[in-house]
């Protein structure tokens, strides 16, 4: 009898089997009520899906949208605080493969907390991620609408860029000391190419390091620094570059600082990044006021 009561109380909680984006079969609640998002991008996705009521905890730099900042924090996404996660009594954690330490994810599972891992690697898989998260949070329709809107925006950029004649050489700096850029297998590379540019840091290494001299040798036409609003160091980096490169090809006028949160996080805001980048690389496409 006791067993039946126990089963009855346990079953509705763990009713779904889902396959996450790492191909693992996991048991998740039918209707998750206490979700902890283990990266800022996942927090943004959950808010974009309108499911923030379910969200009970996020990570340290989850600062967007405004509502996310008020939620309890469980450490940073590379350095999660297990105790804070467990104390929130989550019925589902959503993790990201590129960033969350594997050991922490395994320990959460050994503590009987289901972890659904997502693995967005480019714009296409990022939209799949949004759909999958929508599915497990019972917001499939909302996710579908969101993804369709995103596809529409990508197509508009593709159509604009199709008419360009010249692709500028672009260097995006995502770290100051050392100088770090993004190789071929990254979101940033995809954004540059889609926005009609050439990524001069393209290559096997995902996040290659450069010296100043190497950057100058690459002779980029446009230099973009992704800056965290919380650090003044990036403004200084921009000023340093201006001093260094004021001669070749008028580069001095094409050094920009953009918000790294928008460019780094695999969330719906990557579309904002794509549109911003297209404007920076091809201002001529927007001159007629469109």
Partner 1 sequence: MNLNSEHHISRLAWLSLILLGVLLIAISLGLSIGPTQSGLRSALATLFSPGESDPVLYRIVWGIRLPRVLLATIVGATLSLGGLVFQALLRNPLAEPFILGVSGGSAIGAIIGILLGLSRFPGICFTSFLGSLGTLALILIMSTGKSILRKDALLLSGVMVNAFCSAIIMFLVSITQDARLHNIIFWLMGDLSASDLPQVAILGAILIPCFVIVFVFSHAMNLLMMGKDMALSMGINIRAVTLVLLIVTSFMVSATVSFSGLVGFVGLVIPHLLRLVLGPDHRILVPASLFGGAAYLVLCDLLARTLPQQGEMPAGVITALIGAPLFIILLKRSRK
The footprint of partner 1 (CB under 8 A) covers 60, 73, 75-76, 78-79, 81-84, 86-87, 89, 98-99, 101, 103, 107, 110-112, 205-209
Rounded to the nearest whole angstrom, what is the least distance from the CB of residue 266 to partner 1 in the complex?
A: 14
Nearer to partner 1, 3 or 141 (CB): 3
- The Cα-based distances of 57 to 101, 115, 179, 252 in angstroms read 18, 14, 33, 43
Largest CA-CA distance found in the chain, in angstroms, rounded: 83
Q: How far apart are CA 26 and CA 28, in angstroms?
A: 6
Tell me how far apart the alpha carbons of residues 224 and 221 are, in angstroms, rounded to a whole number: 10
- Smallest distance from the beta carbon of 5 to partner 1, in angstroms? 17
Q: How far apart are CA 215 and CA 173, in angstroms?
A: 10
Q: In the bound complex, what is the minimum distance in angstroms from residue 210's beta carbon to partner 1?
A: 12
Cβ atoms of 116 and 94 within 8 Å: the answer is yes
For the bound state, the minimum distance from the C-beta of residue 43 to partner 1, rounded and expressed in Å, comes to: 17
* Residue in 237, 228, 182, 176 with CA at minimum distance from that of residue 205: 182
Minimum CB distance to partner 1, residue 100 (Å): 9
């Amino acid at each position: 009898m006791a067993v039946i009561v126990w089963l009855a109380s346990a079953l509705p909680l763990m009713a779904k089997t889902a396959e996450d984006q790492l191909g693992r079969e996991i048991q998740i609640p039918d209707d998750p009520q206490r979700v902890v998002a283990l990266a800022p991008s996942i927090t943004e996705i959950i808010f974009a899906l309108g499911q923030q009521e379910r969200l009970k905890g996020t990570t340290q730099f989850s600062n967007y949208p405004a509502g996310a900042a008020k939620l309890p924090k469980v450490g940073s996404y590379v350095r999660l605080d297990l105790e804070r996660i467990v104390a929130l009594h989550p019925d589902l954690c959503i993790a990201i493969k590129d960033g969350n330490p594997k050991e922490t994810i395994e320990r959460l599972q050994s503590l009987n907390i289901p972890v659904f891992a997502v693995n967005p690697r480019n714009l296409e898989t990022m939209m799949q991620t949004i759909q999958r998260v929508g599915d497990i949070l019972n917001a499939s329709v909302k996710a579908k609408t969101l993804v369709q809107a995103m596809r529409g925006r990508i197509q508009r950029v593709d159509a604009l860029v199709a008419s360009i004649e010249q692709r500028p050489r672009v260097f995006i700096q995502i770290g100051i000391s050392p100088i770090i850029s993004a190789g071929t297998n990254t979101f940033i590379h995809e954004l540059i190419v889609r926005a009609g540019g050439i990524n001069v840091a393209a290559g096997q290494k995902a996040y290659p390091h450069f010296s100043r001299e190497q950057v100058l040798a690459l002779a980029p036409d446009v230099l973009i620094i992704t800056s965290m609003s919380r650090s003044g160091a990036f403004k200084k980096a921009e000023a340093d570059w201006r001093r260094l490169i004021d001669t070749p090809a008028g580069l001095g006028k094409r050094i920009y600082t953009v918000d790294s949160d928008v460019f780094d996080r695999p969330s719906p805001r990557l579309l904002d990044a794509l549109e911003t980048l297209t404007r920076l690389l091809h201002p001529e496409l927007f001159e007629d006021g469109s």
